[in-house]
Amino acid sequence: MDPFLSESLHIKRVPVTRLPESQACPRMEDLISREPRDLGRAVCIITGASKGYGRALAFQLSCRLKPRSVLVLVARTKAQLNELKDDIVSVCGRSQLDVRCVQADLEEAGGVEKTVQAVKETSSTETDHVLLINNAASLGDVSRFAVSFTDPAEVNRYLSLNVSGALSLTAGVLQAFPHRLGLRRTVVNISSLCALKPFPSWVLYCTGKAARDMMFRVLAEEEPDVRVLSYAPGPLDTDMQLQARRFSGDLNLRRSFSSMFSEHQLLTCEESGSKLVKLLLDNDFPSGAHLDFYEL
C-alpha cells in the first residue's frame, strides 16, 4: 500500500490478525455487556439502520437503553428493518424495548417529515434522553473527478441526503424534544476522515462529510445544552467499502482500499461501534468535536 495513503487513511501499518469467523461477527447475545452503565430511558433514533454500521449500532445501543425506551430504526429497506427489529426484540424482550421501524427515503423532504412524525409519536414525559444517530449516507459517484460534475441537479441530489436531510432531521427531532429540565439531548454525526482530508475522485463524499461536520459544530455553538459529536468510525467492512474498492476513479485510492481489504485491515462495525458507545456512556467529549476511532 502507498505509505502516504495508508497514513492518511489512518491505517495502522502492522498486520492485523483476522478473528476467527465465529468471533468476527459476534452473536447477538454476546453484544450484551454485563457492565451496568446505561444511556437512560431514551428515545434513540438511528438512520441507515438496515445494514452496515447502523445495524451494528442498533444492537449495541439497544443493550444500553433502560427498560421502556424507544428505538426508532430508519432506512428505505423495510424488510431489513423488520428483520433487525425481530432480532433485537428476541434478545431484549418486547416489554423492555419498544422498537419501531420507519421506512423513509431521507433524500426526500417527505422521508424526513415521516421520520420526524414517527419521533413525535414517541414523546413521553418519562423520556430522559433523546439520542439521534445521523448515520445514513451514500458514497456518491466516486468513479469520476470533480471537473465532470457539471450538472447541479446531480450534486444537489447527493447533498440532499447527505447534508440537507441530516440537518432538517436533526432540527425536526430537536424541535420535537425541546429543552426541558432533566432531558439529555445528544446528536451524533457519523463522520469520516474525508471530512478533513481531500481524496481524489471523492468530491461528493468529502464535500458532504466536511459540510456535515461544520453544520454540527454550528449546532454545538448555538445549543449549549445539546451534546453534539462527529465520530469518524474508521474504515469499516461494509457495502460502502465494497463500492469504494470497486469504483474509486483514482487508481491509488482504489488499490489502497483493495489492499486494506485483502490485508484484513478493515474494522468490524462492532469494534468501531464499541468506541462510540463508550464515548456516549462517558459523555465527557467536548460538544461539537470531531473524534476519530484511531485517536481514541
Ligand X SMILES: NC(=O)c1ccc[n+]([C@@H]2O[C@H](COP(=O)([O-])OP(=O)(O)OC[C@H]3O[C@@H](n4cnc5c(N)ncnc54)[C@H](OP(=O)(O)O)[C@@H]3O)[C@@H](O)[C@H]2O)c1
Element (H, E) at 186: strand 184-190
**Nearer to ligand X (CB atom), residue 238 or residue 268:** 238
Which lies closer to ligand X via its Cβ, residue 226 or residue 236?
A: 236
Burial class (CB within 10 angstroms; exposed 0-12, middle 13-18, buried 19+) of 180: exposed
When asked if residue 256 is in the footprint of ligand X (CB under 6 A), the reply is no
Q: Which one of 51, 66, 100, 255 is in contact with ligand X (CB under 6 A)?
A: 51
Is residue 287 part of the contact set for ligand X (CB under 6 A)? no
Instruction: Give the residue, chosen from 39, 88, 107, 213, that forms a contact with ligand X under the rule CB under 6 A.
Output: 107
Q: Which runs of E-coded beta strand occur in 51-183?
A: 69-75, 97-103, 129-134
Distance of alpha carbon 192 from alpha carbon 209, whole angstroms = 7
Among the residue ranges 1-9, 59-67, 234-242, 247-255, the one whose residues contact ligand X (CB under 6 A)? 234-242
Looking at 65, 106, 112, 116, which residue binds ligand X (CB under 6 A)?
A: 106
Q: Minimum Å distance from CB 96 to ligand X?
A: 24
Q: What distance in Å separates the CA atoms of residue 261 and residue 241, rounded to the nearest whole number?
A: 9
Please identify which residue in 1, 11, 53, 116 interacts with ligand X, judged by CB under 6 A: 53
Residue ranges in 112-141 that form contacts with ligand X under rule CB under 6 A: 135-138
Residue with Cβ nearer ligand X (99 or 127): 99
* Interaxial angle between packed helices 52-62 and 269-282, expressed in degrees from 0 to 180 and rounded to the nearest 10: 50
How many helices and strands, by DSSP H and E, does the chain display? 12, 7
Q: Does residue number 233 form part of the binding site for ligand X (CB under 6 A)?
A: yes
Q: How many residues bind ligand X (CB under 6 A)?
A: 29
The Cβ of residue 38 has, within 10 Å, a number of other Cβ atoms equal to 15
**Contact of 212 with 162, CB cutoff 8 Å:** yes
161: DSSP letter: I
Within 10 angstroms of residue 224's Cβ, the number of other Cβ atoms is: 10
Q: 228 near 220, Cβ under 8 Å?
A: yes
Binding mask 152-181 for ligand X (x = CB under 6 A): ---------x--------------------
The span from the CA of 120 to the CA of 158, in Å, is 27
Residue of 207, 200, 204 lying closest to 253 (CA atoms): 200
User: In whole angstroms, how close is the CB of 267 to ligand X at the nearest point?
Assistant: 8
Shortest distance in whole angstroms from residue 2 CB to ligand X: 18
Minimal distance, residue 74 CB to ligand X, in Å: 6
| Closer to ligand X by Cβ: residue 105 or 127 | 105
The three three-digit cell numbers of residue 274, written as one number: 464499541
Q: Which stretch binds ligand X (CB under 6 A): 4-12, 71-79, 94-102, 171-179?
A: 71-79
- 30 closest CA partner among 264, 283, 235, 268: 268
| Closest approach of ligand X to the CB of residue 128, in Å | 27
The stretch among 86-94, 118-126, 150-158, 232-240 that binds ligand X (CB under 6 A) is 232-240
The binding site for ligand X (CB under 6 A) comprises: 47-54, 75-77, 80, 105-107, 135-138, 161, 190, 192, 233, 235-236, 238-241
